Structure 1
Amino acid sequence: MKKILFLIVMSLFILAACGQNNKDTNETKEQENAQDQEKVTLKVASLIPPMTEILDLVKPRLAEEGINLEVVVLGDNVQPNSSLAAKEVDANFFQHVPYMEEFNRNKGTELVPIVPIYFANYGVYSKEYDSIEDLPDGSVVAIANDISNIDRSLSLLAQHDVITLKEKTDIYYTKADIVDNPKNLKFEEVDLLMLARMYDDADAVVMTPAYAAPLGLTPKSDALLTEGVDNDFAITLVARKDNAESEPIQKLAEAMTSPEVREFLEENYDETAIPAF
């Protein structure tokens, strides 16, 4: 009889233990499922290094905070804004604020700046001439063809007294605002992504270091003139008005302005990408 009672008690104990194990297993699975559900995928459109490299750099930090950062590399300087406006991506990182503002005006969109990340030191480059003074009369200067970068290019040349611009009466300078052009420079407007190709054909090209770098050129070593940081053209993280204050976007902004990103820029792009934070 005692043996039977012992067996009954042991059976009940085993059943209770199994029940507890099943409960623990179920709770673990529920916790894992909850964690998976809490993870957020954040899609950010970009173009070229160091933009894409900065995004890759902050991926691990964001992953620790439950954000899966997906970098969407696009092929031109229109798609990132179009994709953002269409909600195909959550943010983009490739442009300065004046470029974004012009897109908003033209398309009726509500893209907004989140945080400036770095100044891409704009410069004037020439394959044939060693100084701006050497450019002959009537030289062809290639500049980007979007209105914000036309303004930027002309402002850079005016900053160094290569041309003189009248007082600004509109949002942007255009070639019509040139009041003095001693060298009779001829400005050829091309797509932003075509500037590097113009290095062989034009007498000079005004471009960012991102497009000069593949040619082996840097602002400090090779540019005839440079822009510096006293301007509104920092490369900026951009989102939409409807998601700008969301937690994932704000965490991305925090990660992109971390000491780690600053150190990365200073160590790898000291001539071409000056931290703006």
Structure 2
Amino acid sequence: MDQSITKEIKNGVATLTLNRPEVFNSFNREMAFLLQDELDACEKDDAVRAIILTGNGKAFCAGQDIGEITNPDLNPGFKKILDDHYNPIINRIRAIEKPIVCGVNGVAAGAGANIALACDVVIASDRASFIQAFSKIGLVPDSAGTFFLPRLIGFGKASAIMMLGDKISAEKAEQMGMIYSVVASETLMEEVNLKALTLANMPTKALGLTKRLLNQSMNNNLEEQLKLESKLQIESASTEDYAEGVAAFVEKRKPVFKGK
């Protein structure tokens, strides 16, 4: 049985751990498909209200397994790697209307860095780093790096980082707005679990609609975005969580949200 991704569900939070530490959690074909399957399962499971994505060992993810693409018998070719592996992973991360917290435990390079940056909340260990490693071997950034990174840190910095292939420390990544926060390595998963549990206990239907708004804001003009905000605000106002939130406010008690 393929154990390249492990999953644990606890208190409404599903933790997906990249589990090929011997190759710094780099992706081969089986691992890419398994992550897609696990994300699909999390999306369909009503018991899962938030998702954690992290890595086992010293690295978060070193991107593509070079051993696979240099082996003529295993190499699926770049078209299949992108069309079948990474693009579907990025699309799933953005389309799942549940919050996804990424706990970057170590180096995140190439596609590994860009998968992390596609998540909703990115928390990194002080031992982590981010590398747009593509230029070092004559490739262009993929896995939506050229989409998200300029929007996170600005066009100029993104251009320089991608062309130079600089290693960006977690502290620097936080300072430039690439990630949400950096914490001591010893407390990374404690902090990540705390944030994920907090999100899981919030009105997750509204969080999912917020995620949809943020996705659409990448392409909408102001008028289109205002119309969508109005539509989804009306939808969120019809949820059980909204009714519970208002009732709890009036009754001066802590709300109990159910994600409905």
Higher relative contact order (CA 8 A, sep 6+): 1
| TM-score strictly above 0.5 | no
From the two aligned structures, give the one with the greater helix fraction. 2
Task: Find the structure with the greater CA-based Rg.
Answer: 1
Q: TM-score normalised to the size of structure 2? A: 0.25
